[in-house]
Amino acid sequence: MSYPFPENFWWGSAASGPQTEGAAQMDGRKPSMWDYWHSIDPESFHNEVGPENTSDFYHRYKQDIALMKKTGHNSFRTSIQWSRLIPDGVGEVNQLAVDFYGRVIDELIANDIEPFINLYHFDMPMCMQEKGGWESREVVDAYVNFATTCFRLFGDRVKYWFTFNEPIVPVEASYLYQWHYPKIVDFKRGAQVAHNTIVAHAKAVEAFKKMKVDGEIGIILNLTPSYPRSEDVEDVKAAHIADLIFNRSFLDPVTKGEYPKDLVEILRERNMLPTIEVDDLTVIKNNPIDLLGVNYYQPRRVKAKETPIPDGEAFMPEHLFDPYIMPGRKINPHRGWEICEEVIYDIMVDLRDHYGNLPFFISENGMGVEGEEKFRNAEGFIEDDYRIEFIQEHLKWVHKGLQEGANCLGYHLWTFMDNWSWANAYKNRYGLVEVDLQKDLKRTVKKSGKWYKQLSENNGF
């Protein structure tokens, strides 16, 4: 093999409860913010497909976990839906949900697949959103109760826990760019959401430690390194600011226990600092993570601000820099994202050199393609060589980072099977396994799934 990986390397994939389970109105689950948004604004979703059915993992988990084993998984990340486990946000625990998640965890373990459990994947109960969502400290306390409940119920079997997946996304999508409900444009409120989320995370870590759960706890961050157009001072400064806002704003407090001083100063100058309660900074300082998950899809490229800011426009991050389109870049035309594999190496080196070489793993990386059915061969499965190439080219750079001492423990692809993807619904497919929406959600392993089995068995390629 040209690219062998360390012994006990994690090979697997990531998914989430709301994107795979379906059964949205069954067995005591109550509406999440996604259910509500779809009910009032279905046009915002691709083909108006909402979260009510998704890929039906709720009823087919045994079949799906068998396919995970067939595609080489030794680990798998999913999430527990708050709206299923504690349907009213606080109060009574739904025993049917306890039974379901317990069965899933047991089935994974029975198949020698390590369960990685995430607690929050964008799916707040609507009753909590009505209280203000992450702007509300009442919701922060309710989340900590939810996390504690999960630790108590499943901590005897789950060894790897994650508080949040991509916590910057609800800030960007719901409070800056109007991608997700409630589609607010208010940077200061977004900053408050970010801070309260970090407090919720730190308090959950604190509870985990106090309960002496036999395992490790961390967070999943989508890191999008910022690269300047040139080495010009103003371009470099612009990239630094973008990096502070979109990466270090979460990475620093969960690892170093403090916000970047440059970021604090930028917000203070613009009167955008969130309200910080008495013990917040202490609880953040005292509860660093054990393990980091890194989601990597694309870089961010920026240049010094050149375009004028419209008069009277509320402050936005793009007031401090402009996006830059690099000539000749490689791009996924279906998703519109740049493909730049070597960036994953840059992330690894940064974590090694500036974050104490903390243990981490690649918790998401993947390629979404629209209209994959056109790649179906005569044998009936999809020949997604482009996905195999995408994974290989990224893993070459992961291997280089490992050779140079980065503390990477595994690689999880997004995702195991084609799933519902928020407002994009089923527009782009990411799975190792096809889900046929026209044929009773039939599962068929793609060429990449067969290759992934070989990758895992050989522990390299």
Amino acid found at 459: N
Question: Nearest 5°: phi and psi at 284?
Answer: -65, -45
User: From CA 271, how far away is CA 263, in angstroms rounded?
Assistant: 12
Looking at the annotation, which residues are catalytic?
166, 364
Q: Of 196-210, 229-243, 327-341, 384-398, where does mean pLDDT reach its minimum?
A: 327-341
pLDDT at 335: 86
Tokens of 63: 């079949």
pLDDT tens, residue by residue, 407-455:
999 999 999 999 999 999 999 999 999 999 999 999 999 999 999 999 9
- What does pLDDT average to over the chain? 97
DSSP three-state, residue 133: helix
CATH code of the domain containing 204? 3.20.20.80
Domain count, the chain: 1
Spatial contact of 356 and 251, defined as CB atoms under 8 Å apart: no
pLDDT tens, residue by residue, 267-308:
999 999 999 999 999 999 999 999 999 999 999 999 999 999
How confident is residue 126, by pLDDT bands cut at 50, 70 and 90? very high
Q: Do the domain assignments include residue 3?
A: no
Q: Do the domain assignments include residue 5?
A: no
Q: Do the domain assignments include residue 43?
A: yes
DSSP three-state, residue 343: helix
Spatial contact of 156 and 146, defined as CB atoms under 8 Å apart: no
Q: Do the domain assignments include residue 197?
A: yes
pLDDT tens, residue by residue, 182-211:
999 999 999 999 999 999 999 999 999 999
User: From CA 126, how far away is CA 129, in angstroms rounded?
Assistant: 5
Q: Which residue has 């008069």 as its token pair?
A: 311
Q: Which residue has 């799933």 as its token pair?
A: 419
Q: What is the DSSP annotation of 272-326?
A: -PPP--TTHHHHHHT---SEEEEE----EEEE---SPPPTTPPP-GGGS-EE---
Q: Do the domain assignments include residue 4?
A: no
Share of the chain above pLDDT 70, in %: 100
Q: Do the domain assignments include residue 119?
A: yes
User: From CA 243, how far away is CA 224, in angstroms rounded?
Assistant: 8
Spatial contact of 362 and 221, defined as CB atoms under 8 Å apart: no
Instruction: Give the pairing type, strands 337-338 and 331-332.
Output: antiparallel
pLDDT tens, residue by residue, 78-88:
999 999 999 99
Could you list the residue range(s) of the whole structural domain that residue 246 is in?
10-458
How confident is residue 71, by pLDDT bands cut at 50, 70 and 90? very high
pLDDT at 66: 98
How confident is residue 212, by pLDDT bands cut at 50, 70 and 90? very high
> Please, is 273 exposed, middle or buried when counting C-beta atoms within 10 Å of its C-beta (0-12, 13-18, 19+)?
middle
Q: Half-sphere exposure (CA, 13 Å, Cβ side) for 275?
A: 6
* Range 195-234 burial, b when 16+ CB lie within 10 A, else e: bbbbbbbbbbbbbbeeeebebebbbbbbbbbbbbbeeeee
Q: Do the domain assignments include residue 357?
A: yes
User: From CA 223, how far away is CA 238, in angstroms rounded?
Assistant: 17
pLDDT at 52: 87
